[in-house]
Chain A
Amino acid sequence: MINPRPLTGLSGTVPIISAFLYNNCMFQLFSKRLFLILLILALSSCKRETAPAVQTASQNVPLVPAYGDALIVGSIAEPSNLIPMLASDAPSQDVAGLVYNGLVKYDTDLSVIGDLAQSWDISKDGLVITFHLRKGVKWTDGVEFTADDVMFGYQTIISDKTPTAYSEDFKQVKKAEVLDKYTFRVTYEKPYAPALTSWGNLVVLPKHLLEGKDITKSPLTRDPMGMGPYKLTKWVSGQELVLDSNHDYFEGRPYIDRYVYRVIPDSATMFLELQTGGVDMMGLTPLQYIKQTNSQYFKDNFNKYRYPSFSYTYLGFNLKHPFFKDRRVRQAIAYAIDKQEILDVVLYGLGSVATGPYVPNTWPYNPNVKEYEYNPAKAKELLGEAGWKMGKDGVLEKDGRPFEFTILTNLGNSLRMNTATIIQWRLAKVGIKVHIRVLEFSTFINEFIDKRRFEAVILGWQIGLDPDQYDIWYSGKTKEKELNFVSYSNPEVDALLEKGRRTFDINERKKAYFRMQEILAEDLPYIFLYVPDSLTIVSSRFKGIKVSPIGITYNLPKWYVPKPLQRYHIEP
């Protein structure tokens, strides 16, 4: 589950450690976990919404949707596996999201709407969900999609033989039944708040192609077969994946005939490709957004989109380490770091300061937790209380041991690298010597995070819209490869996490999560650093793009290029 995965707009079932903050930020079409309850999001008041850049040349063209043309999306990395439940890297999710559908999905107002499910009933106690599926939907090979496919997907994801990171939500299901060809029912043991939203695009698989086969070896991992808006027609390793539109898509044929997912491992090259027309859409770094895309050329040819992401970056401590066991030390470090400085320098202000594990302007976010303003004097004082004395060479000492530790972070993310550098610089001023080590992402996760071989890390979480963060904070989730890798343990938090996921009452949940944030702000297992904005640029010939709280690609099948502006002619 913790594979390199750029931030996508909405998270998967499980929080994802994100590797690349800025690469192809928002290309996930459908989220996997949705809310159970309608949310009221304060996004309308969000000042960070940005109107697309001014359109000039193309403005004279009448905006008439037309079929045709190709969208070329740039990506740093290549998908690994196109069966959604087997892959957790963003490239795979990006592409698989165009090929497969879920039972439900989010609407732009963050409400849950049907996707393959036409409607659903929920029992009064919330324990039973009955999905009524769309009729007449066909897999691209012509076989009809039925409830058996959902059942098959469900059985596959909970099977021990399936190496998936997403089984947790489905293990809460007590009973799953196919009532008839178009009706699927699940029953939960206990109330489970994220239940409905978990039926996103993970679990619908073509039973007729996969039954009785080893899913990990299926040809579908490289050549998927779904019923989504696009179907994969070509995959040239290391170069590109070509998807052509599914003319029989149940929501109507997508306007754009071809979607090309181009793999360009070097971000500078990708940015140059954008300018030469080799790429139509990519994620931008804050620097590219602020400084490199303001010329007349960019204004004429591209639109930029900026929206808050559901993710945050943090400095996490190994709480088993003798230095960091002491809460005063963690608080001292928080006082010694200037979060605003990091936000200004690293993100150019394109984001906000994080105060806890939720992002501002969402309902679980508690704006009134303890904050640590930049105060090196206070930091020194707290360190002194904890027994650290200034040594000879300007480094603090305790029992003859200098205060020296290493921050690990992943390769290829200049934002995190810069964050680490700033922290190193600030901590040096209070007498803490910091080393920085940059590791390739999968090595970092597999050998250092999973093995708990670290002192401190800078990483990011991509969080779900549902506030359930049981996996991250619950004291029992500290075993190897589990996500509470900092070994945080607080009985009160454990109780609040349990309470939050076992009720459907939004006010009850809110109360639990608000209290949890207060405790986390006091305990500081992480120092929550910043919430970055998602920054995407798209060639201005593409019309019909609408920014929403869930990003821009949710309506990709409705994007179009007016006939006169079409660049590529795709032979049928």
Chain B
Amino acid sequence: MLTYLIKRIFEMVPTLFGITLISFFIIHLAPGKPTDIFSELNPKITPEARERLNKYYGLDKPILVQYGIWLKKISTLDFGNSFSSDHRPVIEKIWDRKQPLLQRRLFVTFMINLLAMIIILLVAIPIGISSATHRNTFYDKITTTVVFIGFAIPSFWLALLLMILFGVHLHWLPIAGLKSMNFDSLPLSGKIWDVGRHLMLPLFVSAFGGLAADSRFMRSSMLEVIRQDYINVARAKGLPERTVIYRHAFRNALLPIITLLGLSVGGLIGGSVIFENIFGIPGMGQLFYMSVMTRDYPMVMCILTIGAVLTLLGNLLADIGYMLADPRIRAR
């Protein structure tokens, strides 16, 4: 098992490498050199700053050397300084050690995605199982339609409708941001409740959209499993259907879901651009959108790379989870 793990981590290295390569390629997509807008056109840039930037990207060197330099820098988490007017190191802008966790963008995005994923699992698995066991019934059709609506509904549209309903008309929930004005004066429980209220709509929107994939996958995985011989054997033994489904089929059907979960990390993180923008949540997605619009290249590169690494880690965790859950692999 340990060897598998080591092998798996070892395999990640070239992937990581490839991610940086693609990211690097994207910098060079922009018309002209990445420093153009900075040095030639921005009246606010001093020659020293231009110098710094040339040094950072090594733009006078051949492209392969540039890549090497960049790679070396980012391996120490040095993504350079933001092109925006605050000129702060980009890594500090997404993970500011001096700030509480809730004010670190990476943490905010990570937390919301993790919570969304948990909610998706908690809802999608039961739906998937029950619609598999009730295949082609009215119940199956309803859940199918509902989860598909969840997938098909444009998340920004749903977000708006919910904001209007719960925020403006009913006044039940706050509609934007992560915490209230008086957050600092609240006791701990109040703080949690406050953040929770702010997160309710974003989490709902995010989870509703992700339901379809997981519940459908669970359904087909379950269908697959209950066709297997050992399930028939279990049934033939006269075990009650509940036991058959939940004791025997469920655990085996769950395995592929773990892999899917790992794969869905990328989609969730990407989706955070949209709902963080609408709900005004100060996370990585919102920053990414702002950086993209202002062509803050170092920031874009940093978030792109970090997002990819997070996804990769998600996949790794999924694999480990799979391994722990699957006796066949465990045995190896």
Interface residues of A (CB under 8 A from B): 1, 70, 72, 80-81, 86-87, 161, 163, 165, 216-217, 221-222, 236-239, 260, 264-266, 268-269, 272-273, 275-276, 278, 411, 440, 442-443, 446-447, 450-451, 481, 568, 571
Contact = CB atoms under 8 A, between A and B. Distances in A.
Given A80-B86, A265-B290, A451-B41, A236 B181 contact: no
Contact of A238 (B168, B181, B286, B295): B286
Interface of B: 37, 41-46, 84-87, 93, 99, 103, 105, 160, 163-164, 167-168, 171, 174-178, 181-182, 185, 277-280, 282, 286-287, 289-290, 293-295
A237 B93 contact: yes
Contacts of A1: 43
Q: Which secondary structure characterizes the binding site on chain A?
A: loop
A450 B171 CA distance: 47
B164 A272 contact: yes
Given A163-B43, A236-B103, A275 B168 contact: yes
B109 to A, nearest CB: 12
A168 to B, nearest CB: 13
Given A222-B86, A276-B175, A481 B43 contact: yes
A378 B190 CA distance: 70
Contacts of B174: 276, 278
B142 to A, nearest CB: 32
Nearest to A450: B41
Nearest to A451: B41
25 contacts: A80-B84, A80-B85, A81-B86, A161-B46, A222-B86, A236-B103, A238-B105, A238-B286, A238-B287, A238-B290, A239-B178, A264-B176, A265-B286, A266-B277, A268-B160, A269-B163, A269-B278, A272-B164, A275-B168, A276-B175, A278-B177, A440-B294, A442-B294, A446-B37, A481-B43
B282 A272 contact: no
A446 B36 CA distance: 10
Per CB-CB distance, the 5 closest pairs between chain A and chain B, nearest first, are A80-B85, A446-B41, A163-B44, A238-B282, A239-B282
A289 B182 CA distance: 30
Most B Cβ at <10 Å: residue of A1, A275, A568: A275
Contacts of B280: 264-266, 269, 273
Given A80-B85, A264-B280, A216 B163 contact: no
B26 to A, nearest CB: 17
A163 B45 contact: yes
Given A237-B93, A238-B287, A446-B42, A269 B176 contact: yes
A159 to B, nearest CB: 12
Which has the most chain A C-beta neighbours within 10 Å: B46, B93, B174, B280? B280
A440 B175 contact: no
A49 B266 CA distance: 53
A165 B278 contact: no
B181 A86 contact: no
Contacts of A80: 84-86
B284 to A, nearest CB: 10
A411 B295 CA distance: 14
B41 to A, nearest CB: 4
Nearest to B283: A238
A568 B183 CA distance: 12
A72 B181 contact: yes
A450 B46 CA distance: 18
A128 to B, nearest CB: 32
A269 B168 CA distance: 11
A247 B280 CA distance: 32
Contacts of B286: 238, 265
B181 to A, nearest CB: 6
B174 to A, nearest CB: 7
Contact of B282 (A86, A217, A236, A269): A236
A240 B43 CA distance: 27
Given A221-B85, A269-B279, 11 more contacts: A72-B181, A80-B86, A221-B86, A237-B93, A238-B290, A264-B176, A272-B164, A272-B176, A440-B294, A446-B41, A450-B41
A163 B46 contact: yes
B76 to A, nearest CB: 23
A80 to B, nearest CB: 3
Contact of A278 (B41, B164, B176, B282): B176
A483 to B, nearest CB: 12
Contacts of A70: 181
Contact of A86 (B44, B103, B294): B44
B175 to A, nearest CB: 5
Given A260-B181, A268-B160, A446-B41, A273 B176 contact: yes
B85 A81 contact: yes
Contacts of A411: 293
Contact of A447 (B41, B43, B185, B289): B41
Nearest to A276: B167
Given A237-B93, A266-B278, A446-B37, A272 B167 contact: yes
B35 to A, nearest CB: 13
Contacts of A272: 163-164, 167-168, 175-176
A72 B41 CA distance: 35
Nearest to A92: B85
